[in-house]
Structure 1
Amino acid sequence: MRKTYKLAASLSTVFLLSACSSNGDTSSTSSSSSTNDGSGDQVVHYTAPTELSTMDTALITDINSSNYLGHVIEGLLRIDEEGNPVPAIAADEGVISEDGLTYTYKLREDAVWSNGDPVTANDFVYAMQKLVDPDTGASYSYLAETIKNAPEIMAGETEVSELGVTANGDHEITFTLTQPTPYFKFLLAFTAFFPQNQAFVEEQGDEYGTSSDALLANGPFTLENWDGTGLTWDLEKNDDYYAADEVSLDAVNVQVVKEPSTAVNLFEGGQTDNAHLTGEIVKQYADNENVVVQKKARTSYLEFNWDNDYLQNEKLREALGLVINTDDLVNTVLGDGSTEIGGFLPADFVTNPTTGDDFTEETESFLSYDVKRAQELWEEAKTELGVESIALSFVGDDDEKSKQLSQYIQGQIQNNLPGISIELRNVPKKNRLALADSRDFDVLLTGWGADFADAINFMDLLYSDSPYNEGGYANAEYDALIDQAKTTNANDDEKRWADLQEAHTILTDDFAFIPLYQEAETQLRNPAVEGIILNSVGVEFDLSRASVKN
């Protein structure tokens, strides 16, 4: 994160203390499902909105899996309660050269893997080489592009051994960059940059990270009882963790609950310590003292498949955006504290280095709810396309929230734009990610949560060669501006900011996506569970320093 950038207070990391309801009276509190029986056992029962996809640091892409991976494996740095990257496996703050091109860190000598092996510098070198190896197919490999030789390796032109990440013995590592990267410390705290035990990974082969038996931990918990596809798993305290004396919880028992009503019933029955709320249930619990709302640096949007001949028509894309009433969507369909968003970036995320203005304040909302105009555009699009009707496949996750969103958007389009048929395909997240990767969709309900506090983290997504550009959007002028912001103007805050603002304008002029909302998450939380750390970027929550009070 550039020194001139800042996260607004509303997105800073906070400690949350919440309360629990036990019956239909939404204002009452009761005993918790968490365990503290006086014998020292501390167990939390947690719900997750979706299943885990993988625990391979190089292949992980979804936030839910990252959230739990962050409890099992630690990188050189971690994000603290103030939202700053601080030493984890690193023994100190490290040494950064004056030109910003080399980062050197000493490693802790008391960090070990759960099989007893020491955590060494080679574990990081191996993991980074695996990340950029084109044979891995890692979607997050682009984050390493400023490391020496990484672009050439990813293009298959240079051997992975030439990557600018070197071990200086077992307990020192150096990263050599080709250009200053102001947010590099945040990357060192991100899951894609976490270490892997080479001998264990190679022993597991393709099975690595696909079950709890095929994973080693070096963090506060180990992952147990996960078979790779199941809807339950456990985090158990890792007694070999270097800071085990700071970890109070003995275990976190997790179960996937996709329906908010089911989650609430479990919570009120004292069987879980949290419950995700959406829609009408949020309204029912609006005044409940147990409710916690976390605003996120995360946007939800619709992505187009640019291979679809119909969707290459700009008027059709604009018409689709104009019939979605986002005010109704956030207040009636969701009702969970999420807010309307007029562009690609969330509010209260990054600010102008000169004026301090929010990025979103300098970008005008480019789509509004205007059914009449949408219908005019659809008529013009039909003439240009030579059709009277079209059918589009709409892909999204199969959790209750995604289903509600999908059905609402389907209704808005079909009711207001006669002749357009929307076929819904709501599938488990792992399947949705696979459909997105294979571009097997026409319209994709997707979203992005910030990995680090810099606008480029969002703007990179629609770069033509980005692995996250599932729809295949391409604009040469846009690419040139992103390249300029990352190279020529990388050290000029004002010019870089102007590049990114101009690039955003190109996205909106092209109607390259449909913005839906900035996400907030509403949960019921148990007051007995104290010290949960919430982050606005990267791993969203941290239970490693939480505890259960009597």
Structure 2
Amino acid sequence: MRVRLSVNPETLNPVSYSDAGALQIINLLFQSLLSADLADDKIKPFLAADLPQVERQDSVSLFTYEIREEATWTDGSPVTAADVAFTLKVLKAPLINNESIRPQLQFIQDIKIDPANPKRFTLVCEGYSPEMVLLTGDFFILPAYLLDPDALLQPIEVAALNGSLSELENNENLKAFAEKFNSPEYGHSTTMLQGSGGYLLEEWASGQYLTLKRKSDWWGNDIPQAQHLTANPERISFQVIPDNANALLALKSREIDVLENIEAAEFDKILNDESFKEDYALYSPETYEFVYAGLNTRSPKFSDKHTRQAVAHLIDVNSVIQVSQLNYATPTVGPIPPSIKEYYNTSLEPQSFNAEKVANLLKAAGWQKEQDGWYKSINGKREKLTVDVNYKAGSKTFEPAAIIFQQRAAEVGIPVQLQGMENSLLSSKLRAHEYEMFFRSLSGNPFVINFQPLLHTSFANLGGMNVTGFGTPESDSVLDGINAVESPEEKARLLKRLQEILYDEAAFISMFYLKDRLAVHRRFDNVKVSGLKPNYDVSAFTLQK
């Protein structure tokens, strides 16, 4: 199998990786207790023999797992609960480069290993939410025998890794382990990057290619009740091709077998190329990535929701989809995909440009139309309504969205200043609240729906993820309820209500969900095309008979 990578991974360290390409490769080397089967986008047991047993107590929840009897490491030794305990130490301890995952596992307080069964264990978790069923199993399990042969972390208890960890920062064993584990060499090592998955990293020519080789006697083969465990291709070659045009040329030259995220205009061309379609099948699955606009509610100009609603009606979603995506996108009324029908609020209409509504809403907010624009007295000072819009420079999605917004705003007499910038600068400005409006995208999944960091007022401080400052007592209550409710019907009610509040407050303005554009060579069968990244499961591919 020959697959294109758009970026040479910085590291394949299963704790500190930073890009989607690295994650795709790590998924072939290591496994989680639970993961998604891209055949049906459902969570299934991978390293675990089954979904966890759950017992709720007063202030804690107990999640009991058992690792598959067949599961082994590369050296043939069994995967055990001790490896899970070791992994939790790596993910929760200080000094280790685990900053991106550590907050996600703070709720796991301890692990209890069954003395009668080394493959059975219970995770002791703070509180309870339905999402914990996935979160307790959604991290790569690491081999203690390989990564910690001197048992440096063995004396440290998982229960000691909660709260303040300042004392552990001087632990000599931890410092010695962290130095080795954090090293760039580890994240590139063919001898250390060995997990319970079906593949080994055979070769890595940085900036050129990475080759994975199938294990000859992988334990996951031929488990009748786990057909989602696959390692079919003998070798998988990830070709590093940063430039999209060169990647498409390699596809047309039959030099790669799989290419995703094909530019919309090029995808339309190959859709009409009959000779190309003889060799390649084309897919455009709905993804879980959506584009949205944000307004700074802390700005006096945008503190009134009628003004924000007026701005929302300047966003011409259909035109943006047509221009930037060539219609490979689906309008949405909120941060819930329209494909999740039980949670999507069909009583609302996606945002569209409406000059009359804009004018009426501005008047309701106290703005008055004059010859050269809209004016209002704010804090005793006469202010003109202008909008500064930030977005990632060079983006073929955000830049057209910003330009179309500028054009529609001009039609109703609102000057708009556009500023494209490097993504890290944009992030810092948003978290410092130094902006008026922005366009961005977010990726999610259908399993964990937790909008608290983005929308709860407790995350609206400087540096917090709620950069718009959105939030009302009701929205906070709804967000808390979404995370705690167990009834699917009640969860649906709360999510639909959240969409109504977001729509009405118009600070976090959802626009559309993207579709991927994917080509796969027809000599392969068992192609699991999905809305989940990377939108296909390369390990499942089989050769056509």
The TM-score, its normalising length taken from structure 1, stands at: 0.71
What's the secondary structure of 2:418's corresponding residue?
A: strand
Say if 2:541 is the partner of 1:546. yes
Residue 219 of structure 1: aligned partner: 197
Q: Distance in 1 between matches of 2:184 and 2:79?
A: 18
Kindly indicate whether structure 1 or structure 2 has the higher relative contact order, using CA contacts under 8 Å at least 6 residues apart.
Answer: 1
* 1:176 aligns with one of 124, 130, 136: 124
Say if 2:294 is the partner of 1:294. no
CA contact (8 A) 1:54 1:60 kept: yes
Shift of 1:425: 1.8
Residue 332 of structure 2: aligned partner: 341
Q: Distance in 2 between matches of 1:439 and 1:253?
A: 44
Q: Distance in 2 between matches of 1:240 and 1:470?
A: 50
Say if 2:434 is the partner of 1:486. no
Shift of 1:244: 6.0
CA contact (8 A) 2:113 2:120 kept: yes
What's the secondary structure of 2:271's corresponding residue?
A: coil
Of structures 1 and 2, the larger Rg is shown by 2
What's the secondary structure of 1:105's corresponding residue?
A: strand
Q: Distance in 1 between matches of 2:55 and 2:528?
A: 32
Shift of 1:511: 1.0
* 1:521 aligns with one of 516, 519, 523: 516
CA contact (8 A) 2:390 2:426 kept: no
Q: Distance in 1 between matches of 2:126 and 2:13?
A: 27
CA contact (8 A) 2:309 2:504 kept: no
CA deviations on 1:355-383 (whole Å, 9 max, x unpaired) are: xxx5232x413622224544676793753
Q: Distance in 2 between matches of 1:531 and 1:264?
A: 23
* 1:83 aligns with one of 41, 45, 69: 41
Question: 2:518 is aligned with what amino acid?
Answer: Q
Residue 141 of structure 2: aligned partner: 195
CA contact (8 A) 2:468 2:507 kept: no
Identity %: 16
Alignment of 1:416-431 (within 5 A): 416-417=408-409, 418-427=414-423
Alignment of 1:226-305 (within 5 A): 230=207, 232-239=209-216, 241-243=218-220, 247-257=231-241, 260-275=244-259, 276-287=261-272, 289=277, 290-304=281-295
Question: Residues 310 and 164 (structure 1 numbering): CA distance in 2 closer, same or farther, change over 3 Å?
Answer: farther
Question: Residues 360 and 484 (structure 1 numbering): CA distance in 2 closer, same or farther, change over 3 Å?
Answer: closer
Question: 1:79 is aligned with what amino acid?
Answer: A
Question: 2:267 is aligned with what amino acid?
Answer: V
Residue 448 of structure 1: aligned partner: 442
CA contact (8 A) 1:296 1:521 kept: yes
Say if 2:63 is the partner of 1:103. yes
Question: 1:243 is aligned with what amino acid?
Answer: G
Shift of 1:270: 1.4
Question: Residues 435 and 72 (structure 1 numbering): CA distance in 2 closer, same or farther, change over 3 Å?
Answer: farther
CA deviations on 1:388-438 (whole Å, 9 max, x unpaired) are: 47573523376xxxx2212212212332335221111255xx887777777
* Unaligned stretches of 5+ residues in structure 1: 1-43, 151-162, 352-357
Shift of 1:267: 0.8
Alignment of 1:111-150 (within 5 A): 111-113=71-73, 119-128=79-88, 131=91, 138-139=99-100, 143-144=104-105, 147=107, 150=108
Question: 2:497 is aligned with what amino acid?
Answer: E
What's the secondary structure of 2:141's corresponding residue?
A: coil
- Alignment length (residue pairs): 473
Q: Distance in 2 between matches of 1:61 and 1:304?
A: 28
CA contact (8 A) 2:13 2:187 kept: no
Tell me which moved more, 340-349 or 412-421: 412-421
CA contact (8 A) 1:450 1:458 kept: no
CA contact (8 A) 1:260 1:281 kept: no
* 1:475 aligns with one of 450, 458, 472: 472
Residue 495 of structure 2: aligned partner: 500
Question: Residues 308 and 217 (structure 1 numbering): CA distance in 2 closer, same or farther, change over 3 Å?
Answer: farther
Residue 406 of structure 2: aligned partner: 414
Question: 2:289 is aligned with what amino acid?
Answer: R
Q: Distance in 1 between matches of 2:78 and 2:434?
A: 43
What's the secondary structure of 2:290's corresponding residue?
A: strand
CA deviations on 1:480-499 (whole Å, 9 max, x unpaired) are: 22223333xx2344444333
CA deviations on 1:92-115 (whole Å, 9 max, x unpaired) are: 455444989433222235544557
Q: Distance in 1 between matches of 2:439 and 2:531?
A: 22
Q: Distance in 1 between matches of 2:135 and 2:534?
A: 12
Q: Distance in 2 between matches of 1:299 and 1:322?
A: 18
Question: Residues 450 and 311 (structure 1 numbering): CA distance in 2 closer, same or farther, change over 3 Å?
Answer: same
Q: Distance in 1 between matches of 2:71 and 2:271?
A: 44
CA deviations on 1:172-229 (whole Å, 9 max, x unpaired) are: 2212345554444433553xx222346456353433798432744332234566689x
The TM-score, its normalising length taken from structure 2, stands at: 0.72
Q: Distance in 2 between matches of 1:438 and 1:241?
A: 50
Question: 1:292 is aligned with what amino acid?
Answer: Y
CA deviations on 1:234-292 (whole Å, 9 max, x unpaired) are: 44434574226852323322245565443322211112223332332232233454321
Question: 1:414 is aligned with what amino acid?
Answer: Q
CA contact (8 A) 1:333 1:404 kept: yes
Alignment of 1:395-410 (within 5 A): 395-396=391-392, 403-410=395-402
Residue 28 of structure 2: aligned partner: 71
What's the secondary structure of 2:396's corresponding residue?
A: helix
Shift of 1:534: 3.2
* Unaligned stretches of 5+ residues in structure 2: 149-176, 223-229, 368-373
Question: 2:30 is aligned with what amino acid?
Answer: I
CA deviations on 1:150-185 (whole Å, 9 max, x unpaired) are: 5xxxxxxxxxxxx14333354222123455544444
Residue 383 of structure 1: aligned partner: 376
CA contact (8 A) 1:277 1:522 kept: yes
Q: CA RMSD in A?
A: 4.0
Tell me which moved more, 434-443 or 100-109: 434-443
Question: 2:114 is aligned with what amino acid?
Answer: N
